[in-house]
Amino acid sequence: MDTFETGLIVGRFHPPHLGHSWFIDEAARRCRRLVVFVNTREGETVPGGLRAGWLAGLHPGVTVREVAHNLDTDWNDDDLWAKWIALFRGHWPHATGPHAVFSSDSYVAELARRLGAEAVVVDEPRVNVPISATQIRNDPLGNLGMLAPVVREWVEKNHRLFGR
């Protein structure tokens, strides 16, 4: 298993769940320094700062940054890619890197290539913790057991915000 100087994870974590935590811990074991970007947009159900705070508290050895944006996700648009890369570079906290970009989705290859990093796909079929944030948003009360206590408490109090 390769070990990297710096690693990056990019996601919405909307909301963060135990699968995200398992994934972050796996990536952290493979990096000297791991950075997690919490992508957020205006008007999301769970504010980005709250999501970033939860992840920072749950993973104290990891640098967590909220990355607010209003960018689209048309991955066939080179101009849009340039904006994403500039956004990520602007939030990157280290002089070099990232050396690896971690994801549970194979689309990470293009992001890693554009950042000059190695793509590392971890548990793409989500076997280790079989849950997604979409499943939680669709049935927040039915998936409380897949949330860390601090997130669970917020979701229990605010589950009506998710709508169905």
pLDDT at 75 over 90: no
In a domain, 91, yes or no: yes
Non-local CB neighbours of 99 within 8 Å, separated by 6+ positions: 4, 5, 6, 7, 31, 117, 118
Domain CATH code at residue 118: 3.40.50.620
What domain range includes position 107? 4-126
Q: What DSSP string describes 65-128?
A: EEEE------TT-HHHHHHHHHHHHHH--SSS--SEEEESSTTHHHHHHHHT-EEEE--TT--S
In a domain, 143, yes or no: no
pLDDT digits (tens, 9 = 90+) for 11-66: 999 999 999 999 999 999 999 999 999 999 999 999 999 999 999 999 999 999 99
